Amino acid sequence: MRRWRLSLKLRLMLLITCLIALFCLAAGVYIVTRAQNDIRGEAYSATELVERYLEAELTLARGAWRLNSNHLPQLQLAKLSDVRHVEVYFYNAVGTLLDSSASGQKHAPEAPNWFGWLVQRSFKPVPDVRRFVDFDRLAVGVLVIHPDPAFEIDEIWNVTRGLLGLLIVFSLMVNALVWWAVGRALRPLGHIRTALNELTTGRLDARLPAFDLPELATLSGDFNRMVRTLEHSTAENHRLTHRLIQTQEDERKRIARELHDEIGQCVTAIHADAVTIQRADGSPDSVIRESATAIIEVTARIKNMVRGMLQRLRPTVIDGLGLEAALGELEAAFRQRNPQTDCSLRVEPPAGELTGELATAIYRVVQEGLTNVARHARAGNVSIEVTVSRKPLPNAAAVLTATLRDDGVGFDPDAAGEGLGLLGIRERIRGLGGAVTIESVVQQGTRIMVELPWPIPNAEQA
């Protein structure tokens, strides 16, 4: 199972997002710490301000008390309703609330509960300030100054929310910039991948353009030099292979000529002498007649062997009658050796009269294909087609196509390696500037197709 892997762009974006998240966490710790100090400082400052105000109000209240001790003077705590961060309550001696600075509507916090809980959870709250009130040593009640951090928490939350929004926008902008920049920087990888795929399919003319990035520009130059070297080496190998095959064909032709001229003539002479001896009249010795008969049988077998060797070494019928006649002999021999397989042949004019190197190449491909069918395919039907396609090419007027199909057991091209015969076919056809396609499916048969450029469209000039 192939493991899923993150692309470079996603990795960079994830890394940047993690760094920004860590920065936000550190900033949050700093904000919470500063919030604690700010809340405590604001609470003490507001408490001190309220104490000074209450001190002034108590002084006025004591003066009013001395003038009229029957009525408890008011401290005017409602005037402190606009003072944030603290609330002031005035209770009488028995604990009844007489006055307070709190308005009728309770302040609705803007900060979410989790933020308020987080800020207040991390530090000890500022304690209430209690001050007992007495008029001329008569205890009349108690003033309670209660610090309220809600307003300060709201202010800190508003600042934090703004910073958090900026960080989110910054994170999105950075990720978008990284996505664009990395995508632009990695765009040449598509060209590299295309060039590598072309190399995989055998196209050695693949080249990379000059890239803007210095690192990729160096890679492009190295790649192009490598491909040029590979193209030169491959062309040299094809040239040597073609020369080797041509030399092999010449050697086969020489051996065939020697077999025909030397051994064939000698065997024919021996056979003729044996027939003369056998037919001699008045011979009293039956042993001579038996020996002559044995010589005739042996020479007949030798002649058949020589004829088969000549056919395998060099199909002379190609030079004499053309490709169609040579393939007809090959088909007939295949039918004779494999009567269980039906074989059909179709050669399209003017390919039937083709001779020379192209005809020999087609003959060898069909010969190797029929040999593989007889040995491995267990096929019921085999078809051979040689067609001509009038497609103008840069160096040819037509394309000569030979196709061999069978309905045998087939094979898996990815699992099975090519034998020497198929490799020889590929090298022979590539040496002539052609292409070989081998397709096979298990239990569905095999198809071998060869395409060769035909520089001269008529057989007379081939």
pLDDT digits (tens, 9 = 90+) for 182-219: 888 778 878 888 888 888 777 777 888 887 778 778 88
**pLDDT of res. 462:** 38
Q: Has this prediction a pTM greater than 0.75?
A: no
Amino acid 362 reads I
126: left (phi over 0), alpha (psi -120 to 50) or beta: beta
- The radius of gyration of the chain's CA atoms, rounded to the nearest angstrom, is 53
Task: Give the Cα separation of 143 and 97 in Å (integer).
Answer: 10
The answer to whether the 8-67+75-183 and 317-461 domains have the same CATH topology is no
Task: Give the Cα separation of 246 and 242 in Å (integer).
Answer: 6
Amino acid 439 reads E
**pLDDT of res. 131:** 76
Per the prediction, the chain carries an average pLDDT of 77
> Cβ contacts of residue 213 below 8 Å, gap of 6+?
185, 188
Higher pLDDT, 310 or 411: 411
Fold of the domain spanning 8-67+75-183: Beta-Lactamase (3.30.450)
Amino acid 143 reads L
Q: Can you tell me the mean pLDDT for 340-361? A: 88
Angle, CA 299 vertex, CA 294 and CA 304 arms, to 5°: 130
Task: Give the Cα separation of 390 and 392 in Å (integer).
Answer: 6
Give the DSSP H/E element, type plus range, for residue 296: helix 286-313
Hey, where are the domains in the chain? 8-67+75-183, 317-461
> Are 50 and 80 spatial neighbours (Cβ–Cβ below 8 Å)?
yes
Q: Can you tell me the mean pLDDT for 76-97? A: 73
Asked if residue 35 has pLDDT above 50, the reply is yes
Q: Where are the beta strands (DSSP E) in 56-101?
A: 86-92, 97-100
Return the sign of the alpha-carbon dihedral for residues 238, 240, 241, 243: positive
Q: Can you tell me the mean pLDDT for 134-156? A: 74
**pLDDT of res. 384:** 94
Among candidate residues 331, 333, 383, 326, the one with its CA nearest the CA of residue 353: 326
Q: Can you tell me the mean pLDDT for 128-141? A: 74
Asked if residue 20 has pLDDT above 80, the reply is yes
Neighbours of 12 (CB within 10 A): 17
390 burial type by CB count under 10 A (0-12 exposed, 13-18 middle, 19+ buried): exposed
Class of domain 317-461: alpha beta
306 - beta bridge partners? none
Asked if residue 114 has pLDDT above 60, the reply is yes
Task: Give the Cα separation of 118 and 42 in Å (integer).
Answer: 18
Amino acid 76 reads Q
> Cβ contacts of residue 196 below 8 Å, gap of 6+?
206
**pLDDT of res. 456:** 57
